[in-house]
Amino acid sequence: MCHISGVVIAAGQPVLEEEYMSDRIANAQLRSKVMTADEAAQFVNHGDKVGISGFTGAGYPKVLPTAIAERAKEAHAKGDEFMIDLFTGASTAPDCDGVLAEADAVRFRTPYQSDPIMRNKINDGTSFYADYHLSESGMYVQQGFFGRMNVAIVEAVRITEEGHLIPSSSIGNNVEYLDAAEKIIIEVNSWQSEELEGMADIWRNNPLPNRVAIPITEPGQRVGTPYIDIDVNKVVAVVETDLQDRNAPFKPLDEQSKQIAGHFLDFLEGEVAAGRLTYDGYRMQSGVGNVPNAVMSGLLDSKFENIQAYTEVIQDGMVDLIDAGKMTVASATAFSLSPEYAERMNNEASKYRESIILRPQQISNHPEVIRRLGLICTNGLIEADIYGNVNSTNVIGSRMMNGVGGSADFTRNGYISSFITPSDAKGGAISAIVPFVSHVDHTEQDVKVIITEYGYADLRGLAPRQRVEKIIALAHPDYRPLLEEYYDRALKAATERKTLQTPHDLATAFSFHQRFQETGTMKLS
């Protein structure tokens, strides 16, 4: 059945492929803009600032990036320049970030990325990358901090008769880019279920100085419209696609992930025992990955009921919690599902939209709402130091991994902010606990709980020196003596200097990292 008002195609009636596709473009003016991706890519020029849809591999444009990459390659073959500034929601996919990076077509990239080729181009100096909090990147566009946005390229499930966009599997910064851009290109993707309609909740604040309170006081509240209203006169092209999102499978739960999840649940039980949490109405945020999915798997068998997520992305584990009746609502800005779960979501979107809400990332990650709701937040990390500072972005101080994402939006403003991580990486060559983190994304003031397979450290109310023992106990046993040795040395120097707030020996603060650079492992050889 089709959604175009005034047109009814009886179920089972054969339709031509082309007619079926254009069912999804109900606005006459925009139907006239349908063209191929190659034709649409002509609207994107060298030097343009291009804001696209896409968040954790969901809802990104599927064909324009390749077409733009082809333009860049052709220009480069002729010796001409062709690079764009690429703004997204967050990470996209090989057929988006990947193809553009591979064509050396990205001069500047913000805010979050995880594509291997894009990452390499950032680290080899081809592309500039500016890391911003996901709640702020769209706001900066609204505030004019990047200058004029030339083109917005946004995937939609369908276009209504009025010319409104029904968002697909992510909202991200779509609203900000569509509002700000001079030209709009829409990809209408028929792979995305039309029944996603009703899942989105689009709400814009007034421009400064007239911003009002965001009217969300519960994770499940809907405050806006299920569509994005756009200026149809800015639309220069509509392209039809039927390609699926990048949906990466999660690894099966391993023993270590289960241990970490177990410690996290122990921590929650302790909060219940202390009267700071109840089994009913636990409000959560969770980063993406295998360990967070293990936590959600643990919640399935826990005493917690009426769990509510106000988070960034919907993961497999949340779908399981919803199916089990343990989670009553999940608010996010995007899906990040395995292929199996993505198919289920597409088939049963009309069921899931009862309990899932997708919001603009400025709202899903907004400090105002996060602090108001009282979320228990859980994110991953690259490394933490013995005083509780956390590095989420730069490997060995210099190499960008993915970016800070929304982790700081949630960590700074959450009711309790925790980090979960295996104690080591790269087969033991890298310790997650180091003397001094080589980049800081979460300051000691913000980090409340750290959890590894060896337990949890509750840092609340502790001065730096009081945290050290608890944090070293989380390290892999191979690294504990090295960390203790560092702390002893730092303590001795600081006692002499009377600088005992945060004892450090700056000469050896980065000794773990330097050893890794020199020998390939942070361990003593």
Q: Which is nearer to a copy of itself, 26 or 141 (CB)?
A: 141
In the complex, the smallest distance separating the C-beta of residue 512 from a copy of itself, rounded to whole angstroms, is: 10
Q: Which is nearer to a copy of itself, 22 or 417 (CB)?
A: 417
**What tokens were used for 150?**
């030339």
Q: Which is nearer to a copy of itself, 461 or 477 (CB)?
A: 461
In the complex, the smallest distance separating the C-beta of residue 485 from a copy of itself, rounded to whole angstroms, is: 17
- Is 291 assigned to a binding site? yes
- Candidates 312, 383, 444, 453; catalytic one: 312
**What tokens were used for 194?**
């039309």
Q: Which is nearer to a copy of itself, 71 or 133 (CB)?
A: 133
Q: Which is nearer to a copy of itself, 16 or 507 (CB)?
A: 507
Query: How many helices (H) and strands (E) are present in the chain, helices listed first?
Result: 19, 25
In the complex, the smallest distance separating the C-beta of residue 275 from a copy of itself, rounded to whole angstroms, is: 7
Residues in contact with 365: Cβ distance below 8 Å, sequence separation at least 6, in sequence order:
133, 134, 135, 312, 333, 406, 409, 410
Do 450 and 459 meet the contact criterion of CB atoms below 8 Å apart? yes
In the complex, the smallest distance separating the C-beta of residue 242 from a copy of itself, rounded to whole angstroms, is: 36
- Is 27 assigned to a binding site? no
Q: Which is nearer to a copy of itself, 78 or 460 (CB)?
A: 460
Burial class (CB in 10 A: 0-12, 13-18, 19+), 205: middle
- Is 288 assigned to a binding site? yes
Burial class (CB in 10 A: 0-12, 13-18, 19+), 12: exposed
Q: Which is nearer to a copy of itself, 120 or 338 (CB)?
A: 120
Q: Which is nearer to a copy of itself, 293 or 431 (CB)?
A: 431
In the complex, the smallest distance separating the C-beta of residue 516 from a copy of itself, rounded to whole angstroms, is: 10
What are the DSSP calls for 80-95, one per residue? ----EEEE-SS---II
Tell me the C-alpha distance between 373 and 210, whole Å. Answer: 23
Tell me the C-alpha distance between 311 and 284, whole Å. Answer: 7
- Is 125 assigned to a binding site? no
In the complex, the smallest distance separating the C-beta of residue 90 from a copy of itself, rounded to whole angstroms, is: 14
Tell me the C-alpha distance between 371 and 477, whole Å. Answer: 36
What is the residue whose two structure tokens read 């566009």?
141
From the CB of residue 472, how many other CB atoms can be counted at a distance below 10 Å?
Answer: 19
With CA atoms as reference, report the closest residue to 235 among 28, 66, 17, 45: 28
For the question of residue 161 being annotated catalytic, the response is: no
- Is 402 assigned to a binding site? yes
In the complex, the smallest distance separating the C-beta of residue 441 from a copy of itself, rounded to whole angstroms, is: 6
In the complex, the smallest distance separating the C-beta of residue 438 from a copy of itself, rounded to whole angstroms, is: 7
Do 225 and 20 meet the contact criterion of CB atoms below 8 Å apart? no
List b or e across 240-274, with b for residues whose CB sees 16 or more CB atoms inside 10 angstroms: bbebbbbbeebeebeeebebbbbbbbebbeebeee
In the complex, the smallest distance separating the C-beta of residue 306 from a copy of itself, rounded to whole angstroms, is: 11
Tell me the C-alpha distance between 258 and 252, whole Å. Answer: 11
Tell me the C-alpha distance between 130 and 127, whole Å. Answer: 10
- Is 382 assigned to a binding site? yes
Q: Which is nearer to a copy of itself, 26 or 449 (CB)?
A: 449
- Kindly give the interhelix angle for 339-347 and 316-323, rounded to the nearest 10 degrees: 50
Please report which helix (H) or strand (E) contains residue 513, including its range: helix 511-519
Omega cis (within 30) before 111 = yes
DSSP state, 244? P
With CA atoms as reference, report the closest residue to 212 among 222, 221, 220, 223: 223
Omega cis (within 30) before 481 = no
What are the backbone dihedrals phi and psi of residue 230, each rounded to the nearest 5 degrees, phi first? -125, 165
Tell me the C-alpha distance between 308 and 312, whole Å. Answer: 13
- Is 290 assigned to a binding site? yes
Annotated binding site: 287-291, 382, 402, 406, 426
Summarize the annotated binding site for CoA as residue ranges.
287-291, 382, 402, 406, 426
Q: Which residues are catalytic?
A: 312
